[in-house]
Amino acid sequence: MSTSTLMRMRSARPTGPRLRSVPAGLSIQARSKTTMPFRLPDARNEPNPLYTKGSPERAKLEEALTKLRSQLPVRSELFFDGKLQASSTSIDQPLPAEHATTFTNYPQATEEQTLTAIEKALEAKQSWQDTPFVDRASIFLKAAELLTTKYRYEIIAATMLGQGKNIWQGEIDAAAELADFFRLNCNWAAEILEKQPTRGSDGMWSRIDYRPLEGFVYAISPFNFTALGGNLIAGPAIMGNVVLWKPSPSNVYASTILYKVLLEAGLPPNVIQFVTGDAQAITDTALSHRDFAGLNFIGSSDVFRSLYGRIGQGVAAKTYREFPRFVAETSGKNFHLVHPTADISSAVNHTIRGSFEYQGQKCSATSRLYLPESKAEEFLTQLKAGIKEITIGSPDKDLGAYMGPVIHRGSFEKIKSIIDASNKDPSLKLLAGGTYDESVGYYVNPTVYLADSPDHALFNEEIFGPVLAVHIYKDADWSSVLKSVDQNGGGFALTGAVFAKDRVAIREAEDKLRYSAGNFYINCKTTAALIGQQSFGGARASGTNDKAGSSDPLRRFVSPRLIKEEFFGQEGFTYPSNH
């Protein structure tokens, strides 16, 4: 064998670590059609106007609310195959604040329509995945701009009336968080596309082609955040996937606006199919399809369990071409654990917000509170005083109200039955609320029970309403209360917070509660993770913990292909050691 042949052979094998220089996060080459490097706008969070009385933003929002009121009931859409679709049946969503008024009616897709939507999405797949990343990203960046300008007040108003949110809750959800998701998903996608092998050898180049999944992604969104539907579709779509989106029946109208904004921003109509109607029927059709490739779900754990089981059966029966991916963020039973050294008034304020903002209808809402005996009276006195200041009212007729209605009759009935049973339970002491009023809308007063036992059902069932369970522990029992916090919570592990000044106590809580919450907060409430700063998700029964608000879930919706290319021909097949 000639010397030159040996040298070439060696050069085709790894010669040790060698870092290729990757331009610091800037130069993303789209897979096709464009070779221009580009830089995405820096990741940022949308600023929130304050909406104080008399401010220009408040005036614009009031105008949008008045206009929306005058149009009720508004029509939600069924949109697939590039156009609005007719439907022979539709369902009414009452206004949560006034159940006698219909907020919207939304069409119900037939099985045939759902199938057509899937087929049309699959037809659009090739051209969407061939669309350069720069163009896909640009559509979502433009949609964020439209949402925060032209459509800001319209979509906030829709979220306020349809979901029963006050101004602040509407703003942080439907304008800010939604725009953050559209913008930051572009940055996260870029982060993934840039992840390329950094070790190389002379004579060859290895690279990764981040392929979208081969089939379609099925996105199912919950009622409580307009932004979450936007995130469930945006992540997979920016990575080049086509998506069948089934919005929540209790968030159809705001989701319709969101969808139309994407079309206006230039999204080809068949990339995301907007299919409304019966959850089980649409899901049956989607999960029976050979091209079902991934589920992006946010909702309750029980629904996810049934979907997981159903997909498992499909996998066992070889229904699908590929093993479907799932990303699912589900329920919580979230705790505030207060140490004797805590700043009590701060912990009280955080607890009021965590438990009662948006009527406790955040997956992250605080619903378990653990107080040390030495500070319990001080804490509870302040808590009760704070609750007395809480105002409740219609999102648009009483703009100053802190709380509004819960979402629908099903939710109201569930909370009401828990309150009725708790009011009669001798092992519970009612500290605040315990009342509700459905004469006009689905209103539940902020409610607090003190429980004899930390094992009571109130510490273990997700209520999804403004009901807080309190347990008082002896100061000396800090270690055993940590155990109780971990072991209760209904098997969920979404969010939790410790309030303390003592660093040793904080360290102990952080260590002992390592698996009790996917988002663990120190001296701040369990709600309000800020996209891009606090990625979000829980394990155990709270979901797959893929951390919404980061690049992680996007990685689930790509199927990387490793490409290795050699630059020299192979001359001979024997090894040097053969000679």
Ligand X SMILES: N[C@@H](CCC=O)C(=O)O
Quick one: what does residue 248 bind among ligand X, ligand NAD, none, with the CB cut-off 5 to 8 Å set by partner type?
Answer: ligand NAD
- The span from the CA of 139 to the CA of 182, in Å, is 9
Nearest approach in angstroms of CB 491 to ligand X is 18
- The span from the CA of 540 to the CA of 305, in Å, is 12
Nearest approach in angstroms of CB 159 to ligand NAD is 14
When computed from its CA atoms, the radius of gyration of the chain, rounded to whole angstroms, is: 26
Nearest approach in angstroms of CB 359 to ligand NAD is 12
Among 362, 375, 540, 556, binds ligand X (CB under 6 A): 362
Backbone angles phi, psi at 474, to 5 degrees: -75, 140
Give the residue with the Cβ less far from ligand X, 172 or 505.
172
Among 221, 224, 226, 256, binds ligand X (CB under 6 A): 224
Q: Are 331 and 298 in contact (CB under 8 A)?
A: no
Rounded to whole angstroms, what are the CA distances from 290 to 118, 148, 232, 282, 473?
11, 38, 21, 15, 54
Quick one: what does residue 332 bind among ligand X, ligand NAD, none, with the CB cut-off 5 to 8 Å set by partner type?
Answer: ligand NAD
Quick one: what does residue 527 bind among ligand X, ligand NAD, none, with the CB cut-off 5 to 8 Å set by partner type?
Answer: ligand X
Active site residue 191: no
Give the residue with the Cβ less far from ligand NAD, 179 or 298.
298
Binding site for ligand NAD (CB under 6 A): 220-225, 228, 246, 248-249, 279-280, 283, 298-300, 303, 306, 329-332, 363, 462, 464, 494, 536, 543
41 Cβ neighbours under 8 A, 6+ residues apart:
141, 183
Nearest approach in angstroms of CB 363 to ligand X is 4
Angle CA 69–71–74, to nearest 5: 105
Q: Which of 77, 154, 171, 329 is catalytic?
A: 329
Quick one: what does residue 528 bind among ligand NAD, ligand X, none, with the CB cut-off 5 to 8 Å set by partner type?
Answer: ligand X
Quick one: what does residue 229 bind among ligand X, ligand NAD, none, with the CB cut-off 5 to 8 Å set by partner type?
Answer: none
Angle CA 440–442–447, to nearest 5: 125
Residue 364 binding ligand X, by CB under 6 A: yes
Nearest approach in angstroms of CB 400 to ligand X is 22
Could you identify the residue written with the tokens 């509870």?
380
- The span from the CA of 523 to the CA of 351, in Å, is 11
Question: Within 508-537, which residues bind ligand X (CB under 6 A)?
Answer: 527-529, 536
- The span from the CA of 20 to the CA of 198, in Å, is 5
Quick one: what does residue 529 bind among ligand X, ligand NAD, none, with the CB cut-off 5 to 8 Å set by partner type?
Answer: ligand X
Nearest approach in angstroms of CB 254 to ligand X is 15
Strand (E) positions, 213-348?
Answer: 216-220, 243-246, 272-274, 292-298, 325-329, 334-338
350 Cβ neighbours under 8 A, 6+ residues apart:
336, 366, 497, 499, 523, 524, 525
- The contact set with ligand X (CB under 6 A) reads 224-225, 362-364, 527-529, 536
The catalytic residues are: 329
